[in-house]
Amino acid sequence: MLSRSGIIPISSTQDTAGPLARTVKDAAILLGALTGEDPSDPITSQSKGKIRGDYTKFLDAAALKGKNIGVDLKKKSVNQYMNRLLQEAIDVLKKAGANIIEIEYVSKIEGLGNQELLIMQYEFKEGVNSYLSNANNKIKTLKEVIDFNNINEDKAMPYFKQEQLEACEKKGGMESKEYKEALVKGRDASRKILDDLIGEHKLDAIVGLTMGPACSIDTIYGDRWGSDFLTQPAAMSGYPHISVPCGMIYHLPVGLSFFAGAYTEPQLIGMAYAYEQISKKRIAPTFIKTFLA
C-alpha cells in the first residue's frame, strides 16, 4: 500500500515503511496520506481498490469487544518484567471484551530465520546497487562501498567491520535458485503459518510484546540484543503490524503488537486504538541524568 520509492533499500520484500506517531489517531491520519499507487513501485498496483483513504473512521474505542485475539503464551521471556507487562496487556484486552486464544507460532516463524537472512542478502545487494547507480555520488555499487571502507578503515570502521556487506556482495543475482527457494521457504512459508493460524482459530489479530526495551550499544563487544521480539512474523510475511505503548522497563518504553493478514489495517487500527484508550500506557519521554539497571 505504501511505495518504497526513495527509501534506501535493505530488503525489497521485507522493508516496511509506515508512520511513526504519538498516538494511533495520528498514525491513522498519516497512513491515509502516505498510501497509494505509484508507477515507480509496481507492487503498489496490487493495493488498487483496497486502500481506504481515511483511516480515522476506524478509530473505535469499542473495537476489541468480541474480537478473537491470539497470543503465544508458550514463548515466555526470561525477563520477569516482560512477562508481567504481557499479562497486564492481556488483562486489559479481556477487560475490553476480547477473547484471548492461546496459540503457538513463534518457534515456527523463528525457524525460518536462515531463509529470511538469505532473502535479505540477495535483495540488499540488488537494492543498494540499483539505488547507488542513480545516486548523486561517485560511489555506484556495493563493491565500491566495501572498497572505500577498507581503504579508510580507521575512520569508516573504528569499532565494527562490514561482514554483512561482504556476505551480501558474494551473493548472485535475483534469478538465483537459492534466492527463489528462500522466498518459498521463508516469506511464503511465514504467510501460510499465519494464514493457517488465523483461519483455524478465527482470529481477528495476533498480539504480543513488540520487543524488549532498547538495546545497549557497546563499541567493544557489539550491540547487546535481547531475544524478545515479535517484529519478525509481520516483516517476513509482509503483513500489516501496529505497535502501541504498553508499559516501561528500566525507564524505557515497550510496545504491544497487533498484526493480522493482508490488508487488515482498518481492523488493526480499531483494536490498537481501543487498547490505547483503555490502557493509557503512553508516557511522554524525558531526559534522566543517569540510570543503572
- Would you call 174 helix, strand, or coil by DSSP? coil
Q: Domain of 193: which CATH number? A: 3.90.1300.10
**7 within a domain of the structure (yes/no):** no
Q: Going edge to edge, which strands form the sheet with 68-71?
A: 99-102, 68-71, 205-209, 252-259, 241-249
pLDDT digits (tens, 9 = 90+) for 218-277: 777 776 666 677 888 898 899 999 999 999 998 889 999 999 999 999 999 999 999 999
pLDDT digits (tens, 9 = 90+) for 192-213: 999 999 999 999 999 999 998 8
Is the distance from CB of 156 to CB of 50 less than 8 angstroms?
no
**8 within a domain of the structure (yes/no):** no
**17 within a domain of the structure (yes/no):** no
* pTM exceeds 0.75 for this model: yes
Sequence length of the chain is 293
Position 292 scores a pLDDT of 57
pLDDT band at 287 (very low <50, low <70, confident <90, very high): confident
Domain that holds residue 270: 57-283
Whole-number Cα distances in Å, 118 to 9, 11, 167, 188, 270:
15, 10, 10, 14, 35
Q: What is the CA radius of gyration of the chain?
A: 21
217 or 186: whose pLDDT is higher? Answer: 186
251 or 63: whose pLDDT is higher? Answer: 63
Position 113 scores a pLDDT of 87
Average pLDDT over residues 183-187: 94
Lowest pLDDT segment from 51-55, 182-186, 266-270, 284-288? 284-288
Is the distance from CB of 27 to CB of 19 less than 8 angstroms?
yes
**169 within a domain of the structure (yes/no):** yes
Specify the amino acid at residue 186.
G
Alpha helices for 152-188 (secondary structure H): 153-156, 163-169, 177-183
Beta strands per DSSP E along 50-196? 68-71, 99-102
Which residues, in sequence order, are bridge partners of residue 254? 247
When divided into structural domains, the chain yields a total of 1
Judge whether residue 293 has pLDDT over 60: no
pLDDT digits (tens, 9 = 90+) for 83-142: 999 999 999 999 999 999 999 988 888 889 899 999 999 999 999 999 999 889 999 999
**176 within a domain of the structure (yes/no):** yes
pLDDT digits (tens, 9 = 90+) for 8-56: 889 988 887 889 999 999 999 999 999 999 999 999 999 999 998 899 9
Using left for φ > 0, alpha for ψ between -120 and 50, and beta otherwise, residue 284 falls in beta
**Selection from 122, 145, 123, 120 nearest residue 132 by Cα:** 145
Position 73 scores a pLDDT of 86
**200 within a domain of the structure (yes/no):** yes
CA distance 148 to 210: 36
8 or 144: whose pLDDT is higher? Answer: 144
Position 224 scores a pLDDT of 67
**23 within a domain of the structure (yes/no):** no
CA distance 269 to 91: 20
**12 within a domain of the structure (yes/no):** no
- Would you call 224 helix, strand, or coil by DSSP? strand
